[in-house]
Amino acid sequence: MNKNALIIKSCIEELLSLRQKRFDEYIDLKIKEHWALDIMNNGHTPIPDEDKIIWEEFVSDFDFPLLKLNSLLEKDFQNREVLEIEKNMVKLHGKEYLNVKEFEDKYDISKNTQAQYRSRMHDPLPYRQIVLNGKITYVVKDVEQWLQNQHK
């Protein structure tokens, strides 16, 4: 392995460490939010499915630089963890339908802002809601078109 590859691998390791720290901070925040809500509800706050934090669905600012750096390395020297991040990003970004959490991760639009956009009288954010359990679902194609129209 040459000197440049060693420098790239070192940068990747540092970014992965920062990504892990960001994930840990995110977990702490979610635990505190749930704890506060649980206190207000006298200990009867269930964790909704869409709020369960799964490492594979976590997206950070470090992901794209990690992918770029990893692609500079020869296949045999690429970081396996970064390859997993890339695989999970393809899953997330290649979907036809997104739930609220996936929408937030992909477009960086919070749940509250999504709700505001959905409730607009003029040009609301397109979505589908399942009658049985009330889950919101977005059709990626419709959302992409809506987002393009917002910037005209």
Question: Dihedral, CA atoms, 56, 57, 60, 66, nearest 10 degrees?
Answer: 40
Q: Are residues 149 and 130 in the same domain?
A: yes
Residue 149: pLDDT band with limits 50, 70, 90? confident
Domain of residue 149 covers: 96-152
Domain count along the chain: 2
pLDDT tens for each residue of 28-74: 887 777 677 767 777 666 655 444 455 666 777 788 899 899 999 99
What DSSP string describes 61-114? TTHHHHHHHHHTS-GGGS-HHHHHHHHHHHHHHT-SEE-HHHHHHHH---HHHH
51 with 1, same domain? yes
- Report the DSSP beta bridge partners of residue 138: 98
**Mean pLDDT rounded to a whole number for the chain:** 83
Query: Can you say how many angstroms the Cα of residue 115 is from the centroid of all Cα atoms in its chain?
Result: 18
Instruction: Give dist(CA 96, CA 150) in Å, integer.
Output: 21
What pLDDT does residue 6 have? 94
Quick one: 4 and 54 in the same domain?
A: yes
69 vs 65: CA distance, rounded Å: 6
Residues 57 and 131 in one domain: no
Query: Measured between alpha carbons, how far is 116 from 72 in angstroms, rounded to an integer?
Result: 41
Q: Do residue 101 and residue 120 come from a single domain?
A: yes
